[in-house]
Chains A and B, each alone.
Chain A
Amino acid sequence: MSDSNSIPIQTSGLTKYYGSSLGISGLNLEVKQGEIFGFLGPNGAGKTTTIRILLDFIRPSSGNARVFGLDSNRNSPKIKSRIGYLPGEYGMYEKMTGFEYLRFLGSLRGYEKPPLRDSVIELLGLDISKRIKSYSHGTKQKLAVVQAFMHDPELLILDEPTTGLDPLIQQSFYELMLEMKKRGKTIFFSSHVLSEVEKVCDRAAILKEGKLIAVHEMADIKNIRLKSIEIIFKQEVDRAIFKLNGVRRVEQNANTIRLWVDSNINGILRRISEHPVENMSFRDASLEDIFMEYYSE
């Protein structure tokens, strides 16, 4: 297998316009074999657009997307035989039972009984004997998860996969993702739930207004993460005094000032000590704080 064939996802200058409005712009992305890659961004950032191009539902205005080294448009059926996909929004054949639906989708992939079907059903606690129209949103989401995983694909593309799953099932779902990773599978998933990205991802990309603004190893993010300092002063102070080197963001609520700092801790502490302090706390900034930092820039 050549090098490019072992790269599950690779995009180069990927751009998509919907009429005159921008979907994504100049996206250069590479997802490595065997990693869980998080794709972060708020609604409208271009996550789903990227995924739809990878799956050949829409075509790029310029640039190209390759999956396993194959062009996403020209080799679409070949690519799809190796992937599992969970859309963010979907419909199902409501008159079918869950079993019939899975059998139908399995048969389109050439399986009488897809290898992981029963184990994923069991893990998620799904009843496939009923008609889909009787399913709740959460149960439909479980069924959608099963259809994405059941044929043991090499690459999973998941668009906001935990939407509608209850917390216990979410936990099972994370375990399933980690189990797939252990078995050498690659997972590319979009989310705006930062805690789940933090929990399972090896790397994460941050998308803003259609542009890729950062790709980080999760370990690096944890190492370089911001510190959050909350200070309650005895009286209100002017937030402008914290326009210091190392202060990334300042929020004020009356006497309380919250700082996000990444360096110059001593200088900042000196400035704080110039004013009477009632209370003060330090903590590591969450991934959400880091994320907000990108979006506030």
Chain B
Amino acid sequence: MKIYLRHLKSERITSLLFAIFLLGFGYLIVVLYPEIAEIQVIKNYFEAMPEFLKAFLGEEIIDFTTFKGFMTVEYFNTTWLFVVGIFSCLMAGLLVTEETEKKTLEILFSTPVTRTGYIISKFAAFLTLLVFLSIASFIGIYLGMWEIGEQIDKSLIFYVFFSGTICMATIGSIGLLFSCIFNEQRLAISLTIIVFFSLYLFNLFATFLEQYPKLKYFTLFYYYDASKIFKREAICWPDIGILVGVFTVMFMLSIFFFRRKEIYL
């Protein structure tokens, strides 16, 4: 608990800045929607897009000029995904490596703290910060919707954030694994970012390659898609299940490696 609280405290400023940005951007994008939806040029531009390009912006194509379509394209599947994705890569990549580099582990582990307990505490703190960002994002969207009088089911917005948070936690678990294996903060963060963007690009290319329809199942981002939730008006539990499965495997591997890691300073 002490390690959990210490980590929350040490990362509070960065997390607060990200949260303010997401809240502000969410609010802004929602209040801009009525005007943008009315611009005929944008409507025409979107309608003229080739199908595969539309597919980039959501597995289940929905109308860009509707609020749900607009939010999917401008926010959930793009801005939010990248901002929170980068946050996850940075925060998870430094969970252990920051202490390895700063040489604080030796005194810390001279106390009765177990290595497993340490990893659980640090990752729990990361998850808390992730949830905090999602709540800030939700509030931004909610305030925006209240401002423009948009009346869509709030639970759908909640489902999207819930799926997104699970997806980002999974990205975080990959970062944690790198952080447990390597000693350099920069290396662990870089590798997590590379995996993050590779999975995203792989998702896009998998959409292109119609002759290999099963390829898309091998990328995490297939399992988080706001358009799917908006279209079906329900949360996709099998997708959540797969994300949680990957998360669990990565988390267990992190503990496995960290318990065996030799701490050289």
Taking Cβ atoms with an 8 Å cutoff, the residues of A that contact B are: 52, 55-59, 76-78, 80-81, 83-85, 87, 89-95, 104-105, 107-109, 144, 147-148
Contacts and interface: CB of A to CB of B under 8 A. Distances in A.
A55 B110 contact: yes
B263 interface: yes
Contact of A77 (B6, B10, B112, B265): B112
Contact of A108 (B111, B260, B264): B111
A81 B104 contact: no
A23 B95 CA distance: 29
B48 interface: no
A91 B262 contact: no
A78 B30 CA distance: 55
A292 B222 CA distance: 69
Nearest to A82: B112
Given A77-B112, A104-B2, A90 B107 contact: yes
Interface string B223-259: 0000000000000000000000000000000000000
Given A57-B262, A58-B264, A78-B112, A87 B106 contact: yes
B111 A109 contact: yes
A90 B111 contact: no
A72 to B, nearest CB: 12
Given A58-B262, A78-B112, A108-B112, A85 B2 contact: no
B110 A58 contact: no
A104 B6 contact: yes
Contacts, number: 69
Contacts of B198: none
B111 A105 contact: yes
Contacts of B102: 91, 94
B197 interface: no
A55 B104 contact: no
A164 B260 CA distance: 33
Nearest to B111: A108
Of the candidates B109, B110, B114, B260, the one having the most CB atoms from chain A within 10 angstroms of its own CB is: B110
Contacts of B6: 93, 104
B107 A85 contact: yes
Contact of B2 (A55, A81, A83, A107): A107
Nearest to A78: B112
Contacts of A109: 111-112
Contacts of B263: 52, 57-58
Nearest to B10: A95
Given A58-B262, A104-B2, A108-B2, A92 B113 contact: no
B262 A80 contact: no
Across chains A and B, which 6 residue pairs bring their CB atoms closest together, nearest first? A91-B103, A85-B110, A108-B111, A57-B263, A91-B102, A81-B112
Given A57-B109, A83-B110, A108-B108, 9 more contacts: A56-B109, A57-B262, A57-B263, A80-B113, A81-B112, A92-B107, A95-B10, A104-B2, A108-B112
Nearest to B106: A87
A85 B107 CA distance: 7
Contacts of A83: 110
Nearest to A58: B262
A93 B10 CA distance: 10
B106 A57 contact: yes
Nearest to B99: A91
A271 B255 CA distance: 70
A75 to B, nearest CB: 11
Contact of A92 (B2, B104, B260, B262): B104
A89 B265 contact: yes
Contact of B265 (A80, A87, A95): A87
B104 A90 contact: yes
A277 B153 CA distance: 107
Nearest to A101: B107
Interface string B101-138: 01110111111111000000000000000000000000
A77 B106 CA distance: 14
B104 A108 contact: no
B107 A105 contact: yes
10 contacts: A58-B264, A59-B260, A80-B109, A80-B111, A83-B110, A90-B106, A91-B104, A93-B10, A105-B108, A105-B111
A56 B114 CA distance: 11
A144 B108 CA distance: 11
Contacts of A56: 109
Contacts of A87: 106-107, 110, 265
Contacts of B104: 90-93
B106 to A, nearest CB: 5
Interface string B2-15: 11001000100000
A56 B111 CA distance: 12
A144 B110 CA distance: 12
B107 A108 contact: no
Nearest to A77: B112
B93 to A, nearest CB: 19
A286 B6 CA distance: 49
